[in-house]
Amino acid sequence: MSKTVIVIGGGIIGLCSAYYLHKEGHQVTVIDKSNMDSGASHVNAGYITPSHFISLASPGTLSKGIKWMFNSKSPLYIKPRLDLEFLKWSWAFKKSATPSKVEKAIKPLLDINLLSRELYEDLHQSGDFNFHYEKKGLLMCYKTDKVGEEEWEVGKRGIQEGLKVEHLSQNEVSKLEPKANLNIKGAVYYHSDAHMTPNNFMEEMIAYLKKCGVSIIKNEEVVDFEMDNQNISEVITSTQQLSCDEVVLATGSWSPIISKKLGLKLLVQAGKGYSINIRKDTNIRVPAILCEAKVAVTPMNGFTRFAGTMELSGINHRVNPARVKAIAEASAKYYSQLNITSEEKVKAKCGLRPCSPDGLPYIGKTSKYKNLTIATGHAMMGWSLGPATGKLISDVISDNKPVVSLSDFHPERTF
């Protein structure tokens, strides 16, 4: 049965939700308070990452953040602040960062990543799109034996889970990247991963949805809701009221603000990331993560992107030059001939990634409202998990059996 669905949020999660809802025959409207041409969905590393099956909330992460709190160039920065929501999130993160919970998260994270990669490939081959998509794998490059051993332990676990993973020497990496001049000891190579150019996909998806009759409302903020018993009957924006049968909340780092209007408490913190685009040829052909520096490197359509940092400093879009400089300097230590200029650093952009306390996204219905579905909290895997989340949201609203279990992603799970 066709329903009128309002998707709040026009990032990768919201657009993919709209796509699969439209495919199921629903009447869809996407609302976003921005112009839908910036933010995390546009400045991310563009990875599709089955390799990322270890959750962000892993043992030692919080203690590293505290240790690095006063280091302006650290890969992880936690701004100290007396904010009740942040303190609740931090406590939930600490409780989630145990070996048993990390272990429990491996299968759901891997399953949803593999589903998303399959769906991206379906979209790419559908004939409806022409976006950049390549499956060249991902190199986890390391400079020290200690980090190399840690990465290979994860790699071996990936092999147990059915992924093709190799431990490569420096010479073996050089065969994959003969002109990149990598200054490393070796790399763990995941054949499973793919990469894209985010802007490219976002523009095509918006154009496709418009062509199909999906209503896209930009620069309009959702300010309130009209309720009828356990249903949301209207979404109220800054200029109009829209009736609906179903509502999808895909508002990323702003989800706690919007959910409060509905009397819900979503533990989400904004994790700011930065990216620098280099338009000259870097000779980099295979995506890589520079492990010690936590920098992601992606050869995109017409440029190479260097992305990094996880800055938990609340909702703001201030670009910290020290962090941009840290990404550039770290990258040059791994790629010997790389030179990121001052002009390129000045043009760096940032985006806010919505982080749940346990590193798993929130996907599914709430008990308070019969017609509200949540889709947020994807942290650094938002791009990777876009199509899978959209498909699962569509399954929930269409009363189809979800392709993967949603139990681990329940929005009202306890930490």
Residue 77: per-residue pLDDT: 76
Q: What confidence tier does 80 reach under pLDDT thresholds 50, 70, 90? A: confident
Label residue 227 by pLDDT band (50, 70, 90): very high
Kindly report, residue by residue over 155-212, the tens digit of the pLDDT: 999 999 999 999 999 999 999 999 999 999 999 999 999 999 999 999 999 999 999 9
pLDDT category of residue 92 using cuts at 50, 70 and 90: very high
Please give the average per-residue pLDDT across 273-285, as a whole number. 97
* Model pLDDT, residue 90: 87
Q: pLDDT digits over 246-260, tens only? A: 999 999 999 999 999
* pLDDT at residue 208, rounded to an integer: 98
**Which DSSP string do the residues of 228-257 spell out, in sequence order?**
ETTEEEEEEESS-EEE-SEEEE--GGGHHH
Identify the pLDDT of residue 70.
59
Q: Judge contact between 249 and 259, C-beta under 8 A.
A: yes
pLDDT band of 72, cuts 50, 70, 90: low
Q: Would you say domain 4-409 falls under CATH 3.30.1490.150?
A: no
Instruction: Give residue 366's pLDDT.
Output: 94
Identify the band that residue 69 occupies on the pLDDT scale cut at 50, 70 and 90.
low
| Structure confidence at residue 1 (pLDDT) | 85
DSSP string covering 56-81: SS-TTHHHHHHHTTT-TT-SEEE---
Distance CA 191, CA 49 (A): 10
Q: Which residues pair with 296 in a beta bridge?
A: 289, 307
Residue 165 CA to residue 190 CA, distance in Å, equals: 5
Query: Angle 221-363-366 (CA atoms, 0-180°, nearest 5)?
Result: 80
Instruction: Give residue-wise pLDDT tens across range 93-117.
Output: 989 999 999 999 999 999 999 999 9
**Domain spans, the chain:** 4-409
Chain length of the chain: 415
Label residues 276-315 b or e (16+ Cβ within 10 Å = b): bbbeeebebebbbbbbbbbbbbbbbeebbbbbbbbbbbee
Least confident residue range of 46-60, 120-134, 357-371: 46-60
Q: What is the pLDDT of residue 64?
A: 64
